Each structure stands twice: as structure tokens, then as C-alpha cells.
Amino acid sequence: MSQTTRNTPDTELSQFRVKGEIPVPVLINWLTTVAVPLLVFFAWRSGLRNDPVTPPLLIGFAVMLAANSLVYWLSSHKTLQRRGFIALITVLFTYLAIHAVEDGSAILWLFAYPPIIFYISEARVGVAACSGGFAAVILLFSPLGDMLFEPPYSSSFRLTMIFALGFEMVTCYILDQSRRRSKLGLLKLAADFEYAAKHDALTGLANRREALSQLDAEHQRYLRNGRLFSVVLLDIDLFKSVNDNYGHHVGDELITLVAQTLREQCRKVDTLARWGGEEYLILLPETPSEQALQTADRIRQAISEASVNTGQGLIKTTVSAGVATIRRSESIDRLLQRSDEALYQAKSEGRNRVCG
Ligand SMILES: Nc1nc2c(ncn2[C@@H]2O[C@H](COP(=O)(O)OP(=O)(O)OP(=O)(O)O)[C@@H](O)[C@H]2O)c(=O)[nH]1
């Protein structure tokens, strides 16, 4: 899982919200709710100044922003809503920069652009939008800008705007990077917790809880499509004597060796679990009795051939296994009970054997 988090693409990460963070659609809807009456208000004030262009344009922006939220409300299409919103506010802020709305003071709204863009989109979109915006502001405040538009700004206002906007954009970028890093950290932590909750620390196999959950899922599939599955309960023979003679660390190595052999002998679809101390459970999906017995015997054979190197030479071990295949409307508890009985039989018949 940590591999997954390391590869989490920026697109996915920008839309991934940790608990408590405002979801992007909610933020966009909230901004739209605030922006629409504001635009109507400024349109009305521009109308009072006999500006023939600004009122219809601002009303048009208000209508399009509202329509964007309405489309999201009807379709729940997050990407469409986000892209629509970014396009609309980019055009709106450009208009506020090149047209002297509110005697030119409306250009101050430009400061709202960087935090919104960085919050709702990927880092590279934020960087591209802010770089473009910054270049446009410099152009607007340059002599070339004076030739193209009629900006009513003094030199000191222009300089202050350039430095303050630049400062704000860089700050937003740094904060955004820090937010993304902390999100990655949280994702990794969540993945590690999930892994630890499902796996056995010594062998890396599924733990008992995860095995029960896989068993339940397989049982549900069986009830739906009737495909038989089997379980193998496998126990290392005379394991206590290994601990007693060679120490617990060698016992642990043996437990790991058996786990490794199970991995080599089983299919990817099989669930391998450490069921208890030196006991394992193998869930074999879509496997009838005969095949399950053959698999269990192949595993038994492979384990009897493997060995652990101790300071006192190589040691080998054997296992006993009990196999049970699901029957009619049998419950999981009953199935496990039958495999346990078969394991008990294998032990009492002399160990190093498979019973089913
Ligand atoms: N090293 C080590 N030993 C463990 C672990 N979990 C359980 N054990 C030991 O495994 C031994 C199991 O012994 P028993 O249940 O008596 O079974 P056995 O000696 O394998 O004998 P049979 O099952 O009858 O063949 C106990 O001594 C436990 O202490 C573990 O994680 N590591």
C-alpha cells in the first residue's frame, strides 16, 4: 500500500480530501453563492456610472457561475464543475484587470485568485495559472499595457501590486506543497495501518481476521454461483520441540519458511493466512475436494523438503493438514470445524500427512 501512496498522482492527490477538509464542490458552490450577489452589486454600481459594457458582462458571469453550480447539482460531475469554475474565474479576473471596474480598485480581487486556484486544482495547474496571471499583470502594468488598455494606476500602485501578487503566489505555492506532503504522509499512515490490521507481522501473510473476511466473501460467492471452494488447515509438526531445542528465534524462522513455501506453492487467488501460532489456513477459491487434497499434499511435500540453517546445522520440518470443501448450505464455522477435525485426524494418524 505504501507503494500506492508513493505513486499517487498529483491529479488524484489534489482531489483527495482528508477528513475535515472542505470538499472542492462545496467550496466552489460556496464561492459561487458569494460571487453571484457581489457581481450583481458591482454591475448595478457600474450601471450608475453609465458604463454600458460592464453591467451586462458582470451579470453574464453571475449567470454562468450559477449555471455551472446548477449543472453540478443536476449531474454531480465534479471535474466539469471544477474546470467550468476555473475557466470562468480566469476570464472574470482578466476582465477586472484590464477594465477599470470600480475606478480600477476591483483589480484588488486578483488576490483571491491564487489561493482558490491552488486549493481546487492540481499543483501544476495552479503554477501555470499563477505564472500566466503574473505575466499578464506585468504586461498590463508595462508601457505596452498602457498602449493596449487604459489602466488608471500610479507607478507605486503598480509596483506594490506586482510585488504583493508575486509574494502571494509564491506563498500559496509553498503552502500548497506542504499541504500535499502532509496528505501523502496521512495516506501512507492510513495504508500502513490498513496493512497492519490485515497482516501477520512475522510472516506477512493475512492474519486471522483478514482470513475470516476473505472466507466470508468466498462463501457469499459460493452461495451466488455455486462454485465450490476448499480450506486447508495446516500445522507444523512437533513445533514445541524446535523451540525447546533450538530457541524461539529458530522457531520463528521455521514459521517464516513455511509461509514462504506456501507462497511458492499456491496461486495468486488463494488466501494464505497465519491462523494461530504454528497453524496456517489456506483458502482455495473454486477448488473442489480432489484438487484441494492434491494441493495440500504438494504443499506438505514441499515443506518437508525445505530447511532452515541454524548454527547447529540444517533443520527440517513436516506439517499435517486437514482439508474440507464446502457442502450444500454449510456455514463457515462448520466448514472450519470439519477441516480442524481432519487436521486432528492427520496428527493422530502419525503426522506429516493430509486428511480430508
Ligand atoms: N517460535 C515461536 N513459537 C511459537 C509461536 N506461536 C506459538 N509458538 C509455540 O508453538 C508451540 C506449539 O506447540 P503444540 O501446540 O504443543 O504443538 P506441537 O509441538 O507442534 O505438536 P503437534 O501440533 O501435536 O505436532 C508452543 O510451544 C508455542 O509456544 C511463534 O510465533 N513463534
What is the per-residue pLDDT across 144-196, written as a single tens digit (0 to 9) for each? Answer: 888 877 767 888 988 999 999 999 999 999 999 998 888 888 888 989 999 99
Tell me if 347 CB under 6 Å of ligand 1.
yes
Closest CA to 212 of 332, 97, 77: 332
Asked if 137 and 237 sit in the same domain, the reply is no
Cell numbers representing residue 341 in the block? 477435525
Residue at 203 is within a domain: no
Residue at 201 is within a domain: no
CATH number at residue 246: 3.30.70.270
Catalytic (active-site) positions: 278
Distance 329 CA to ligand 1 centre (A): 34
188-212 average pLDDT score: 95
287: DSSP letter: -
Asked if 174 and 253 sit in the same domain, the reply is no
Q: Transcribe 83-137 into DSSP letters.
A: HHHHHHHHHHHHHHHHS-GGGGGGGGGGGGHHHHHHHHS-HHHHHHHHHHHHHHH
Asked if 285 and 212 sit in the same domain, the reply is yes
Cell numbers representing residue 6 in the block? 508513493
Asked if 17 and 96 sit in the same domain, the reply is yes
Tell me if 90 CB under 6 Å of ligand 1.
no
Residue at 202 is within a domain: no
Tell me if 243 CB under 6 Å of ligand 1.
yes
Tell me if 248 CB under 6 Å of ligand 1.
yes
Q: Are 2 and 191 in contact (CB under 8 A)?
A: yes
Mark which of 195, 219, 235 sits at the end of a domain: 195
Rounding to the nearest 10 degrees, give the CA dihedral for residues 65, 69, 74, 80. Answer: 80
CA distance 206 to 216: 14
What is the per-residue pLDDT across 53-104, written as a single tens digit (0 to 9) for each? Answer: 999 999 999 999 999 999 999 999 999 999 999 999 999 998 888 888 888 8
The range of the structural domain enclosing residue 127 comes to: 2-195
Q: Write the residue with the smallest CA distance to atom 31 of ligand 1.
A: 277
Asked if 165 and 222 sit in the same domain, the reply is no
Residue 4: pLDDT over 50: no
Block residue for cell numbers 449567470: 63
Asked if 64 and 114 sit in the same domain, the reply is yes
CA distance 285 to 229: 5
> How many structural domains does the chain have?
2
SS3 332: helix
Asked if 213 and 190 sit in the same domain, the reply is no
Q: Which helix (H) or strand (E) holds 232?
A: strand 230-236
- ipTM score here? 0.93
278-302 average pLDDT score: 96
Asked if 340 and 215 sit in the same domain, the reply is yes
Residue at 280 is within a domain: yes
Question: pTM value?
Answer: 0.70
